[in-house]
Structure 1
Amino acid sequence: MINGVIVINKPQHMTSFDVVSRMRRILNQKKIGHTGTLDPMATGVLPICIGDATKIVDFLMDRTKTYVCEMKLGEATDTGDQWGTVVDTASVPTLDLDIVRLAVAQFVGEIEQIPPMYSAIKINGRKLVDLARQGVEVERKPRKITIYSMDHLTFDRDKIGFTVKCSKGTYVRTLCEDIAKTLGTLGHMTALTRTSSEPFTMDMAVSLEQLEAEGAAAHLVSIETALVHFPIFAVELDEQHRKMLDNGVKFDLKAFADPCFSVAEMGMNPSSVSESLYRLYVNQAFYGICMDSAGKRILKKRFDD
């Protein structure tokens, strides 16, 4: 059985689940899941967890994403993107790059965003997108998201391009609509490519056709490497405590910290990100994930079995 992550460069016209289904056929393996939905119109980085790596899906979905986006001013669509039906139009005021830059800057930081109707969010057990297709619109509560940066800004009459680095849960389609409103008009997204889903980047991505031709081995990222964004915590355990850990006994690992463990010798770089989750190494070997809880550092997830 294959265990690890393969980063797919998702093509247009495929859902994330379509990619998972295709990979199940290519790899002849059922235990496969993705780490964050990309709309059929969107392309780019889609990490796919295989085998035991499906245990880390939640740890990867919460990470920062980066997108390259294009949008058009003057038209609103029902879906918020160019694949939808135009439902309203508005004139585009006289703008220049400096005006657009000032408008875009207002969205950097922690903001509130109302999720679009055409989304997989469920309300009362029903997906918003299913309701939207029936012509039903329901009230959605704003959600807090973080826009870390918006740069590489371009502007040409009624078209805007930008790169956005954002938190989980950000709808770039909605961001485009909100930017247009700030500029005094309407707008919708015309292109979207995800270039990174931390810690995976586009240069790691492979097409489905390439994967089918070359096989999984050349493109498989280990579970250990997939968690590189977590800092390392290493312990040295005697036989008794190792058995306790293997049997799921929760005890404070900080008392067994290994001062001799060398990240450099492992050929890895420590994460600069402050986390309450850590890559756990037991007696110099990768073991799983540990976490801080109630003043203790305890095992959360084991991967060495």
Structure 2
Amino acid sequence: MYDGIINVYKEPGYTSFDVVAKLRGILHQKKIGHTGTLDPQAEGVLVVCLGKATKLCDILPDHDKEYEAVLLLGTTTDTEDMTGTVLTEQPVDVTEEQVRQVIASYVGTYEQVPPMYSAIKVNGQKLYDLARQGQVIERKPRPVTIYTLEILDMDLPRIRLRIRCSRGTYIRSLCRDIGESLSCGGCMEQLIRTRACGFHAAQSLRLDEIEAHEKDGTLAGYITAIDEMYAELPKLTVTEAGDRLIHNGNKFRKECIASMTEGTQTETCEDDNMDEAARYLVYDSGKRFTGIYEYDLGAGEFRPYKMFL
């Protein structure tokens, strides 16, 4: 069984769950999960956790995400992309300069109303289930941050954009909002996620490539180890006496530490080198990674944050 993270290129037409289901068949293991849904028609980076790494799905480093999208002005749909029913079509009577000004105005934090066709829950029900029943529910706007919004190409009514944004941003809704600001409406015609959780599309593997590497025994070289995802954290190695504690997921004191390294430097385990609630990668005396611990300065002990035993 594989334990680690794999950078999958999701092709259009697959749901994120389809990718997980196919990987379970290819890798012959059940413990597989992804870290962020991509719409079926979208493509690009889907970060998938395998084996023990499935515990990472909700705590992976909160990197921003990057997309390339095509905004189609003049058309609105109920899904805010081209998979839905067309609601309105109107002429696009805007200049390129007007488009540039409006697009630039969305850089920063703004309140975004999520789409009806989304997995957000309202009163215990997913919005897309309610939408398929013909219901339209009022959605509360949520703050999202657009770090960069670059025009790659403009051939009106189409605009190709590169977007770097915070988690929770709906690119469909961004396209809708830009269209509304231009008074002609708009929807998302195409979406590629080019980066997520530190992984890039250029290094992604398609399902057929993963299957080929699995068959020839080379797939392990494409899987990122769990502790590599947190390479910026300092590392603690415990003594043999500390092994019994960490192998049972228990807290331990500084006396159980054999060594501490931060980057390439070996540090001493003194309080002035420790920060309250700082996190550490913890290894047993045999150098096997066991989990992430937090330091309680007041108690002078390390407490488990997430174990990977």
Structure 1 residues 10-159: aligned runs within 5 Å: 10-60=10-60, 62-96=62-96, 98-159=97-158
Equivalents in 2 of 1:250, 1:63: separation in Å? 29
Structure 1 residues 1-305: aligned runs within 5 Å: 1-60=1-60, 62-96=62-96, 98-215=97-214, 216-228=219-231, 231-250=232-251, 258=259, 261=261, 263-264=263-264, 278-282=279-283, 286-291=289-294, 298-303=303-308, 305=309
- CA displacement, residues 74-120 of structure 1 (integer Å, 9 cap, x when unaligned): 01011101121110123322311x33222112222222111100011
User: What letter corresponds to residue 83 of structure 1 in structure 2?
Assistant: T
SS of 2:56 mapped into structure 1: helix
Could you say which residue in structure 2 is the equivalent of 1:269? none
Say if 1:100 and 1:125 are closer, same or farther in 2 by CA, change over 3 A.
same
Equivalents in 2 of 1:238, 1:255: separation in Å? 6
Which segment drifts farther, 237-246 or 217-226? 237-246
How far the C-alpha of 1:70 sits from its partner, in A, is: 0.5
How far the C-alpha of 1:208 sits from its partner, in A, is: 0.5
User: What letter corresponds to residue 161 of structure 1 in structure 2?
Assistant: R
How far the C-alpha of 1:247 sits from its partner, in A, is: 3.2
Equivalents in 1 of 2:81, 2:23: separation in Å? 27
Which segment drifts farther, 86-95 or 31-40? 86-95
Equivalents in 1 of 2:298, 2:92: separation in Å? 56
Equivalents in 2 of 1:140, 1:295: separation in Å? 43
User: What letter corresponds to residue 235 of structure 1 in structure 2?
Assistant: L
SS of 2:55 mapped into structure 1: helix
Equivalents in 1 of 2:296, 2:89: separation in Å? 53
How far the C-alpha of 1:5 sits from its partner, in A, is: 1.4
Taking only aligned residues, the RMSD between alpha carbons, in angstroms, comes to 2.6
How far the C-alpha of 1:65 sits from its partner, in A, is: 1.0
Say if 1:245 and 1:28 are closer, same or farther in 2 by CA, change over 3 A.
closer
Say if 1:277 and 1:146 are closer, same or farther in 2 by CA, change over 3 A.
farther
Say if 1:82 and 1:225 are closer, same or farther in 2 by CA, change over 3 A.
same
SS of 2:160 mapped into structure 1: strand
Q: With the length of structure 1 as denominator, give the TM-score of the two structures.
A: 0.86
- Structure 1: unaligned runs, 5 residues or longer: 267-275
Say if 1:278 and 1:64 are closer, same or farther in 2 by CA, change over 3 A.
farther
Equivalents in 2 of 1:277, 1:166: separation in Å? 27
Could you say which residue in structure 1 is the equivalent of 2:269? none
Equivalents in 1 of 2:146, 2:295: separation in Å? 27
Bigger CA radius of gyration: 2
User: What letter corresponds to residue 84 of structure 2 in structure 1?
Assistant: G
Equivalents in 2 of 1:30, 1:61: separation in Å? 24
Checking the alignment, whether the CA contact within 8 Å between 2:74 and 2:91 is kept in structure 1 is yes
Say if 1:113 and 1:15 are closer, same or farther in 2 by CA, change over 3 A.
same
Equivalents in 2 of 1:137, 1:288: separation in Å? 44
How far the C-alpha of 1:61 sits from its partner, in A, is: 7.6
Equivalents in 1 of 2:292, 2:61: separation in Å? 16
Say if 1:172 and 1:243 are closer, same or farther in 2 by CA, change over 3 A.
same
Say if 1:115 and 1:263 are closer, same or farther in 2 by CA, change over 3 A.
same
